[in-house]
Structure formats: C-alpha cells, structure tokens
C-alpha cells in the first residue's frame, strides 16, 4: 500500500530545523560537550564518548534505512532512493565507524538525549520526504544540481573523515590533552572537520533540491560554523604559537 505524502509535517519539520539553526546563532553559546563540557556542565552525568556517539547517531541511520528497506524500489533505481542512500552512508560512518574510533571526552547524558531526539526527527523527516513526497524526472541523474550536489557531498565527506583522522592522531587512547592539529585543511582553518560536513550537507541540499534538506543544511551551517568559531577562539587562547594565518572556517577569509 502506497503511503500518501503529507505536506504539513514536512513543512513543520523543515521550519523547526530552520528555527533551531537561527536559535543556535542567536544564543551563540558553545555546545556543552567535548572541550566545553567540564566548564559548562561540571556536575552532569556522563557516558563514555564512544557509547554516547553511537547511541546519538544511530537513529539518523536506522530510521531512514528502515524506511528505505520497506520501500519496494531498488536502492540503485529512483533518484530519491539513491539520495537517501547517501544520507544513510554518512550516518552509517558516524554510527559504526566514527563513534567506535573517537577519543573524545565523556559525553553529558542530557546532550545525548537531545541529540538522539534531533537525529530521530531529522532522519524521519529526510527519509519520509524522499521516499513518499519527492518526485524527480528520469533525467535527474544528469541534472547539474544532482551531479554537482553529489560531488560536493562526497568531497565534504572525504574532508570530514580525513579531518577526524587527524584529530584522533593528536591523542593516545585515554588522553584528554589538546594539541594543535596539523595537515589537511587544518593548515588553513581550525574547523576543518566542520567545514567538511557543511560542504556535505550543502551538496545534499543541492542534489535533492528539497526544503527538508535545505533546512538541515542551514541548521548544520549555523551549528557547525559556530562550533568552528568557538574552537578557533579556544586554540588561540590555549596556544601562544597557534598559527596566526589560520582562519576559523573558510580558508583565507573567515
């Protein structure tokens, strides 16, 4: 049985993502995990970073993958299923690779719960829209929006994975000290991992040409750009020899 597309929840979900992004910028506060968790939430109950990241990211993979698995169309057939497959690929890596390799600080449970709710809602929104609402012409695979968007998505994911690898190498297992990241796009910006993920979701929004993806790209830009600027300020304060030419997020500019 075909599930009819309901536009109202799609619009509501997209508006919520955009509003959350705007709220993040308005508050302009560091997120209370990672290097900021001890100062912002000293008494918070915490989980080990690997378990927390796994649990938080899991619904972003499981929810759309479940929607995809129930749909009769082939993963490599219609553009919508291929695009949702890209979304699932990102969160497969975040859930089953990144989370099991991270050497981050213990994660406040309150942020885990917030992240879990966000990832569940966003996974449902992106999956529902692409499978039950999106309509693409047969020639979408050759459309410049699709080809350029997928290129940016793959480029951004590559930057993100490489940057995460560089950050992991700065610590031995069990260490919580900070060192200056070097190499890759860290040569030019403090938030190379964040820049990679922003490029990913801009590419995804372009390839899907959809309101939910655009809203998610906007939220990601707001959240990750702010985090990059806080990281940059943190590094400048902590390290006297931090490269003065290095920018926060955009090479040579910002």
Residue 238 token pair: 């902590």
In a domain, 63, yes or no: yes
Query: Please, is 234 exposed, middle or buried when counting C-beta atoms within 10 Å of its C-beta (0-12, 13-18, 19+)?
Result: middle
Q: Residue 121 pLDDT > 80, yes or no?
A: yes
Condensed to tens digits (0 to 9), the pLDDT of residues 92-106 reads: 999 999 999 988 888
In a domain, 196, yes or no: yes
In a domain, 57, yes or no: yes
| Tally of domains within the chain | 1
In a domain, 158, yes or no: yes
- Sequence length of the chain is 254
Condensed to tens digits (0 to 9), the pLDDT of residues 123-161 reads: 999 999 999 999 999 899 999 999 999 999 999 999 999
Angle at which helix 49-70 crosses helix 79-93, to 10 degrees, equals 160
Q: Residue 30 pLDDT > 90, yes or no?
A: no
Condensed to tens digits (0 to 9), the pLDDT of residues 84-93 reads: 999 999 999 9
pLDDT at 120: 97
In a domain, 252, yes or no: no
In a domain, 251, yes or no: no
How many C-beta atoms lie closer than 10 Å to residue 166's C-beta? Answer: 17
Residue range of the domain that includes 55: 12-238
Q: Residue 113 pLDDT > 70, yes or no?
A: yes
Radius of gyration of the chain (CA): 19
In a domain, 155, yes or no: yes
Does pTM top 0.75 for this prediction? yes
In a domain, 246, yes or no: no
Q: Which helix (H) or strand (E) holds 218?
A: helix 211-238
């Amino acid at each position: 049985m075909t599930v009819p597309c309901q536009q109202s929840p799609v619009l509501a979900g997209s508006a919520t993502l955009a509003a959350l992004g705007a709220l993040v910028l308005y508050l302009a506060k560091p997120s209370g995990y990672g290097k900021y968790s001890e100062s912002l939430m000293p008494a918070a109950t915490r989980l080990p970073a690997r378990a927390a990241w796994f649990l938080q990211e899991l619904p972003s993979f499981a929810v759309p993958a479940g929607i995809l698995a129930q749909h009769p169309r082939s993963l490599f057939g219609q553009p919508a299923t291929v695009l949702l497959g890209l979304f699932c690929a990102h969160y497969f890596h975040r859930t089953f690779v990144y989370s099991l390799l991270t050497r981050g600080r213990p994660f406040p449970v309150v942020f885990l719960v917030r992240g879990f709710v966000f990832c569940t809602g966003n996974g449902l929104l992106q999956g529902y829209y692409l499978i039950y609402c999106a309509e693409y012409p047969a020639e979408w695979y050759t459309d410049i929006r699709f080809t350029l968007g997928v290129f940016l998505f793959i480029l951004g994911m590559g930057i993100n994975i490489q940057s995460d690898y560089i950050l992991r190498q700065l610590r031995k297992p069990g260490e919580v000290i900070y060192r200056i990241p070097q190499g890759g796009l860290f040569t030019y910006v403090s938030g190379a991992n964040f820049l990679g993920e922003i490029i990913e979701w801009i590419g995804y929004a372009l390839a899907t040409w959809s309101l939910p993806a655009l809203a998610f790209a906007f939220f990601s830009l707001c959240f990750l750009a702010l985090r990059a600027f806080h990281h940059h300020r943190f590094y400048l304060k902590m390290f006297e020899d931090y490269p003065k030419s290095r920018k926060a997020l955009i090479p040579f500019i910002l």
